[in-house]
Structure 1
Amino acid sequence: MTKLDVVTFGEAMAMFIANEVGSLHNVQQYTRSLAGAETNTAIGFSRLGLQAGWVSKVGDDAFGKYIAQALQKECVNIEQVLVDSRFPTGFQLKSKVTAGDPEVQYFRKGSAANYLSVDDFNEEYFLSARHLHMSGIPLAISAHTREFAKHALRFMKKAGKTVSFDPNLRPSLWNSKEEMIQVTNEIAFQSDYVLPGIAEGRILTGHEKPEDIAAFYLEQGVKLVVIKLGEKGAFYQTAQKKGMVAGYKVEHVIDTVGAGDGFAVGVISALLEGLSEEESVVRGNAIGALAVQSAGDSDGYPNRERLEGFINQILTGVR
């Protein structure tokens, strides 16, 4: 079995991006792409040269085959992507915008990924990875995936692996705000690295300031908290130190979706390579800035050469 640097799991969907600006019901033509927070991160890790594995279920249909082919093309390991002919692969529609966040409509209820369960957990596969990266989305989409997520976290922690967690809050997928906060924090408290956006941190902790949000998680045993602050950059804190890392100036933002996943790729890949917390956040900011300059969720994620070239712009004062 392939040795992995990072393993992740979740739902992937075929995504249809509008070719014209306007309401989705008026759009005549779309361009197909790939969507899914965890596939975004797997692709991002792979482009940087890390061995990344993604675990899920897809339907025995055209969308499922497309997802598998797209990930294979990106050199993501999909040995544990199971095909379930009983249920379909989900898809989504995404609007084209000239500014701000796009409109997204999901068609994912009852998809094959909803039925990823603890019975599907392959211990050998997960043990082959150094690190587990988790998103909060599997906690929300079904009881099956929630139990899978909890099991994966317990298993990897017991095996001495590191775990990162991006809350990736999707309130519309939860029964209530209270349930969302309780379950998400339960997972966050057990993780080594927690990476919320500032708005997510405020919802989850009730605190306003990045320092207070970070302290909330550090007091529960989290080793590193990194709080995304959009174009301002990011704040990080451990038990020993804290700091603010400025973001990169982007002249023209095309699409913000996928920027947070790209940020996670930057931070986690750097930590796995032994870089400092500050250097890791610099990389996260860089990939996030590159991500917002393209329409697809992961289209802007760089390879190693492009990433290093972009970060080196700081030396010329472009940042």
Structure 2
Amino acid sequence: MSWLVNDIRPGKVLLVGEAMGLFTAGEEGPCSQVGAFGASVAGAELNVAIGLRRLGQDPLYMTKIGDDPLGERIRLFMEANQLDTSLVELSRERHTGFMMKTKESAGDPKTYYFRKDSAASTIGAGDVRALDLTGVSVLHLTGILPPLSDSCLAASKELLCAARANHMFISFDPNLRPVLWRDPETMRSTLRSLASHADLVLPGIGEGVELFGVERVEDIAQAFLDNGSRVVVVKDGPRGAYVSDGNQSAYVPGFVVDHVVDTVGCGDGFAAGVLSGLLEGLTVEAAVERGCALGAIQTQHISDNEGLPNPQELAEFTASHTRVAL
């Protein structure tokens, strides 16, 4: 029996979201006391686009940036990574959002967002309707765009409508950011609704707990399937990932790494790995294994996207690292 994701077609991958400046502390301690920060670029959808581009895919990334140094940094960063900037709109009225992140020797870093009234928060349904979707076969949507503003929520819904009308394959990463939402129930109901339209959904354990009140990978997958998604890949941290379409399932082990530098951006790397694998015609299990590899690679880097590999780097990593024993 074949997995339902086998109907994904080669083509461009559309991503829409907020690109941000990222300032990472150069030493441990509160951001209010650290003396130096490293500057880079972040944004969940942008991270996925970079991962896809480095693996030879053709992502199409839409965002809005301010006419300011951070906006210019983002544009230059995209050009350096050979990403098409034709869908990057410059605003002279709104600023570019940014975030600050602590450096931690153990545990996840603390992240602070400064994105209210940013240029990207004005993305709306009209921007989506104006897109030329020629050659686009995949939409990858995350749960970060919808809560940025009412217009961003409308854009998210319009993206799903456009994807269905144009027979695109829809990938959805819930990517919970509770601080962005008005209240927990609005977050839960909205993300469950968006996920119901997805051909492929990529939740983590925490998202299963928050959205459906279950924590076993099998139960999380079933909850999303019962909600309407066609195939679910549940990220289980360093252990690997569980995939199910309701008729068949598999557990794909992760990769052993000696230490973890930073976990931010791992889920974005995972998504890029899975999608690139499926677009190349890999089996679902092989695509999920690639996702696990990119997630593990990203744990070795402070930046949200600097570790995302090209094909040779990916091959070297998978050849030199063992899989987790289940």
| TM-score band w.r.t. shorter chain | over 0.9
2:78 maps to which residue?
Answer: 71
2:237 maps to which residue?
Answer: 230
Q: Please give the TM-score of this superposition, normalised by the length of structure 2.
A: 0.93
Q: Which letter does structure 2 place at the counterpart of 1:35?
A: A
Q: Which segment is superposed worse, 283-292 or 236-245?
A: 236-245
Checking the alignment, whether the CA contact within 8 Å between 2:23 and 2:99 is kept in structure 1 is yes
2:294 is the alignment partner of 1:287: yes
2:69 is the alignment partner of 1:62: yes
2:279 is the alignment partner of 1:263: no
2:14 maps to which residue?
Answer: 7
Checking the alignment, whether the CA contact within 8 Å between 1:56 and 1:80 is kept in structure 2 is yes
1:194 maps to which residue?
Answer: 201
Q: What SS class does the counterpart of residue 156 from structure 1 fall into?
A: helix
Q: Which letter does structure 1 place at the counterpart of 2:252?
A: V
2:169 maps to which residue?
Answer: 162
Alignment of 1:178-189 (within 5 A): 178-189=185-196
Q: Output the CA distance in 1 between the equivalents of 2:97 and 2:130.
A: 26
* 1:9-59: CA deviation from partner (whole Å, max 9, x where unpaired): 100111111111111011111111011101100000000011111101111
Q: How many Å apart are 1:317 and its aligned residue?
A: 7.0
2:217 maps to which residue?
Answer: 210
Q: Which segment is superposed worse, 127-136 or 248-257?
A: 127-136
Higher-RCO chain (CA-CA 8 Å, sequence separation at least 6): 2
Q: What SS class does the counterpart of residue 195 from structure 2 fall into?
A: helix
Q: What SS class does the counterpart of residue 219 from structure 1 fall into?
A: helix
* 1:256-312: CA deviation from partner (whole Å, max 9, x where unpaired): 000000001111111111211111110000000000000000011100111122222
Q: Output the CA distance in 2 between the equivalents of 1:114 and 1:277.
A: 35
Checking the alignment, whether the CA contact within 8 Å between 1:127 and 1:156 is kept in structure 2 is no
Q: How many Å apart are 1:185 and its aligned residue?
A: 0.8
* 1:113-167: CA deviation from partner (whole Å, max 9, x where unpaired): 0001112225553343111111100111111111101101111112111010000
2:138 is the alignment partner of 1:131: yes
Checking the alignment, whether the CA contact within 8 Å between 1:126 and 1:156 is kept in structure 2 is no
Q: Output the CA distance in 2 between the equivalents of 1:249 and 1:154.
A: 40
* 1:63-98: CA deviation from partner (whole Å, max 9, x where unpaired): 111101101111111211111111100111111111
Checking the alignment, whether the CA contact within 8 Å between 2:171 and 2:201 is kept in structure 1 is yes
2:116 is the alignment partner of 1:113: no
1:89 maps to which residue?
Answer: 96
Q: How many Å apart are 1:104 and its aligned residue?
A: 1.2
Aligned residues: 316
Q: Output the CA distance in 2 between the equivalents of 1:122 and 1:158.
A: 12
Q: Which letter does structure 1 place at the counterpart of 2:187?
A: M
Q: How many Å apart are 1:318 and its aligned residue?
A: 8.7
Q: Output the CA distance in 2 between the equivalents of 1:100 and 1:107.
A: 23
What residue ranges of structure 1 are gaps of 5+ in the alignment? none
Q: Output the CA distance in 2 between the equivalents of 1:208 and 1:143.
A: 31
Q: Output the CA distance in 1 between the equivalents of 2:235 and 2:182.
A: 26
* 1:207-266: CA deviation from partner (whole Å, max 9, x where unpaired): 222112111222344221000110111111013310111111111100000000000111
Q: How many Å apart are 1:201 and its aligned residue?
A: 1.2
Checking the alignment, whether the CA contact within 8 Å between 2:192 and 2:227 is kept in structure 1 is no
2:315 maps to which residue?
Answer: 308
2:58 maps to which residue?
Answer: 51
Q: Output the CA distance in 1 between the equivalents of 2:104 and 2:320.
A: 28
Q: Output the CA distance in 1 between the equivalents of 2:205 and 2:95.
A: 35
Percent sequence identity over matched residues? 40
Q: Output the CA distance in 1 between the equivalents of 2:77 and 2:301.
A: 18
Q: Which letter does structure 2 place at the counterpart of 1:215?
A: Q
Q: Output the CA distance in 1 between the equivalents of 2:190 and 2:35.
A: 40
Q: Please give the TM-score of this superposition, normalised by the length of structure 1.
A: 0.95
Relative to structure 1, the CA distance from residue 13 to residue 59 in structure 2 (aligned partners, 3 Å threshold; closer, same or farther) is: same
Q: Output the CA distance in 1 between the equivalents of 2:309 and 2:88.
A: 25
Checking the alignment, whether the CA contact within 8 Å between 2:178 and 2:184 is kept in structure 1 is yes
Q: Which segment is superposed worse, 238-247 or 296-305?
A: 238-247
Q: State which of 237, 242, 248 in structure 1 corresponds to 2:249.
A: 242
What residue ranges of structure 2 are gaps of 5+ in the alignment? 1-9
